[in-house]
Amino acid sequence: MSEFIIEVDRVSKSVQDATGELTILHDISFHLLARESVAIVGASGSGKSTLLSILAGLDKPSSGTVRLRGQDMFALDEDARAALRGAELGFVFQSFQLLANLTALENVMLPLELRGERDAKALATQMLQRVGLGQRLGHYPRVLSGGEQQRVALARAFVVRPALLLADEPTGSLDFATGAQVMALMFELNREAGTTLVLVTHDQAIAERCDRQLRIEAGHLVESRLTDMAV
């Protein structure tokens, strides 16, 4: 098995539009070790979110490979790739992506139940208590604030103890103070779980908290550098 959690090797992505072929990503390569954190930064439209979707196995590259724990994700069929995601990946999105008809507790229980965990309710309860929502277990997303919804999303992501956590602008829908609190909690949980983190952000202060930064410009990886003041 590879020593790397994730290996991205010469990944490119092109699509057809009205003007012909549009290349979104050009020959991207990088590797991440266990417990490493990396921020993917760049202007809007540079290809950051497309890269994150490919890392999740939700979008296929036009060329190149992505290996998760040594497994070529795109050598798998859709069902096997979904199973790999369920076993190894956690997700945090800008728009929270909570299921509106489920309570906070049920949202966090869901990935555990999909994995067949017997103690799903107890584990989900513990994780919601860890993120400060022990009194909100039975509340539906519509009555939770944005910060509370993102805390539920963090609990759902970390409760399965993923090898790799992918976060796409996790504070983009939050005010500055709430976003800062959520990010502090996210980095705490990441350290506790020993998860490898890939974070897309426009916020340079957040990027500076990661071990490394990858800068994408017009689909090209133009810089990969260690962060001076990594958490």
What are 46-71's pLDDT values in tens digits?
999 999 999 999 999 999 999 999 99
3-class secondary structure per residue, 120-138: HHHHHHHHHHHCCCCCCCC
Average pLDDT over residues 185-200: 92
Residue 16 in tokens: 């057809």
Q: For 34-52+77-226, which CATH class?
A: alpha beta
CB 37 within 8 A of CB 196: yes
| Cα dihedral 214→88→124→49 (10° resolution) | 30
- Dmax (CA) for the chain in angstroms is 54
With a pLDDT cut of 70, the percent of the chain lying above it is: 97
Per-residue pLDDT for 172 more than 90? no
Q: pLDDT band at residue 231, thresholds of 50, 70 and 90?
A: very low
C-alpha 117/C-alpha 125 separation (Å) is 14
Q: Are 9 and 182 in contact (CB under 8 A)?
A: no
Strands (E), the chain: 4-17, 20-33, 37-41, 63-68, 71-72, 89-93, 164-168, 196-200, 212-217, 220-226
161-167 mean pLDDT? 93
Q: What are phi and psi of 36, to 5 degrees?
A: -75, 150
**In contact, 25 and 51? CB cutoff 8 Å:** yes
Residue 220 forms beta bridges with which residues?
A: 26, 217
Element of type H or E holding 153 = helix 146-158
Averaged pLDDT for residues 133-155: 95
pTM: 0.88
Q: Is the pLDDT score of 230 beyond 50? A: no
Domain ranges of the chain: 34-52+77-226
Angle at 147 between CA 141 and CA 148, to 5 degrees: 45
Mean pLDDT of 139-166: 94
**pLDDT tens figures, 79-134:** 999 999 888 999 998 888 999 999 999 999 999 998 889 999 999 999 999 999 99
Question: Interior CA angle at 104 toward 99 and 107, to 5°?
Answer: 45
Structure tokens that stand for 11 in this block: 């990944």
Sheet containing 212-217: order of strands: 71-72, 63-68, 4-17, 20-33, 220-226, 212-217, 37-41, 196-200, 164-168, 89-93
Interatomic CA distance for residues 195 and 163, integer angstroms: 5
How confident is the model over 139-146, as a mean pLDDT?
A: 96
